Each structure stands twice: as C-alpha cells, then as structure tokens.
C-alpha cells in the first residue's frame, strides 16, 4: 500500500460527489497553499506500520479537509451540508466508500467520522469546511 497512491485515489474518489447546485470539487493530494472551492485534500495522516508480522499490513488514518466558499456564509454552509450527509449523491462518505479498495490501492477503508465544521483560514482567506477521518488498511510496502 503506497501512501501517495492512496491519497491520490482517496481525494479523487471524494471529488466525485454531485452537489446541488452542481459544483466541481477540486481534489488535491497535498496541502494546497491556495484553494479553489469547493476542494478537498489530506490535512493530516498517521501511518501505523506493522499491524501484522512481516510487513503484512499497515494502517493509515487520514484526515481529509473539505473547504467551501464563505463569500456568502449561509450559502457556503448550505453547500457544505450536502457533503456532510452519510449517503446520497453529495455525500463525501458515500463517494469514498463506493470502492473500498480504491481500485486496488488498499485492502479496505472506512470513513469513520466527520468533525470540525467551522471556518478555516488559508492564506488570508476564510472558508467554511469540515474534516473526515478515514481509516485505510493495506499490505505494508
């Protein structure tokens, strides 16, 4: 399981959400210095190596941060609300878990939690967003 490949496919999967009104989600597999909303990227990650003997399995716990425009605070929150749902076309959880192996990049994953619904500052600009905790298991590399 390659961390970079997992992050690329994880954010790409999250970006397949269909919001109402429709807006294209921009995925990044790095922490961007500037953003175009809505966007999603990994803001934190932890790799627990050696979950089984002989480098058989690693565990990645990744935090994905999603940002929406706050130019109109109420509209920004309304857009975010769609992404927060546990199911549906706009659900980030459903989009990521549509293929729990990320096209073979991992063995399985679970979008375990969503937290941090608040304002985020990137550069000098404020956005509204949330964070998802994703647990990913796969063969140690």
Partner 1 sequence: MGKLILLDARLFVAGADLSGASNKIEVEASVEDKETTNYRSGGAVERLGGLFEAELTGAGQWEAGDPSLVDDNQWATLMSRAVAPWTLCPTDATVGALAYLTAALESEYKLLDEVGEVAPWEGSAKSSWPMPRGQIAHPPGTARTTSGSGTALQVGTVPAGKHMYAALHVLSASGTTPSLTARVESDDAVGFPSATTRATFTAATARGGQILRVAGPVTDDWWRFAWTISGTTPSFLFAAALGIA
128 binds partner 1 (CB under 8 A): no
Considering only 20, 24, 52, 141, the residue that binds partner 1 (CB under 8 A) is 52
Give the closest residue to 120 by CA, choosing from 54, 76, 57, 85: 76
Across the beta sheet with 39-52, what order do the strands follow? 26-27, 39-52, 57-69, 125-138, 108-122
Measured CA to CA, the distance from residue 95 to residue 84 in angstroms comes to 11
Helices (H) and strands (E) in the chain, counts: 3, 5
Considering only 20, 24, 139, 141, the residue that binds partner 1 (CB under 8 A) is 139
CB 117 within 8 A of CB 67: no
Number of residues this chain uses to bind partner 1 (CB under 8 A): 14
Nearer to partner 1, 36 or 50 (CB): 50
50 binds partner 1 (CB under 8 A): yes
Q: How many C-beta atoms surround the C-beta of residue 31 within 10 A?
A: 12
Nearer to partner 1, 24 or 139 (CB): 139
Nearer to partner 1, 2 or 50 (CB): 50
Measured from the CB of residue 105, what is the shortest distance to partner 1 in angstroms? 17
Measured from the CB of residue 5, what is the shortest distance to partner 1 in angstroms? 20
- Positions that interact with partner 1 (CB under 8 A): 50-57, 59, 108, 110, 112, 137, 139
């Amino acid at each position: 399981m390659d961390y970079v490949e997992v992050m690329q496919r994880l954010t790409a999967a999250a970006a397949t959400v269909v919001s109402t009104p429709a807006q294209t989600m921009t995925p990044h597999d790095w922490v961007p210095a500037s953003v175009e909303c809505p966007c999603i990227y990994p803001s934190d990650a932890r790799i627990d190596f050696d979950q089984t003997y002989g480098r058989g399995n690693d565990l990645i716990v990744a935090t994905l941060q999603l940002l929406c425009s706050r130019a109109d605070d109420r509209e920004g929150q309304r857009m975010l609300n769609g992404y927060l749902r546990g199911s549906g076309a706009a659900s980030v959880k459903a989009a990521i878990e549509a293929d729990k192996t990320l096209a073979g990049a991992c063995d399985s994953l679970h979008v375990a939690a969503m937290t941090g619904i608040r304002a985020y500052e990137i550069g000098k600009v404020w956005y509204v967003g949330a964070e998802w905790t994703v647990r990913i298991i796969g063969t140690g590399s």
